[in-house]
Homo-oligomer: A and B are copies of this chain.
């Protein structure tokens, strides 16, 4: 069993919106992501998604609810089928918990669409 040290893991990559796999359990994945500026509006039809911000500031916008602003040490669960747009102000680092195979854009075509990659 290998532990993951978040500081080292976040230091190992720079690309925003390019999630790295930190762990897998019970059909779910724990991913690390860096964020910069606006992501795309999207939803995950079959996947609830948890955001846990560890650095910076991430605003999550919703079509039909008030924005939620997350700073380091704050988490939010976004239920499946709720359209949302993460916006880093101006950058953020976060853990994501979601089912294995969840696409970062929920299938929306975008240059920001990215497969999850292994940590190096």
Contacts and interface: CB of A to CB of B under 8 A. Distances in A.
Interface of A: 1-7, 22-28, 30, 47-50, 52, 54, 62, 65, 68, 70, 73-79, 82, 95, 97-99
Nearest to A84: B1
Q: Is the interface of A mostly helix, strand, loop or mixed?
A: strand
Contact of A3 (B4, B25, B27, B68): B68
A25 B75 CA distance: 13
A22 B76 CA distance: 9
Nearest to A71: B5
A75 B6 contact: yes
Nearest to A25: B48
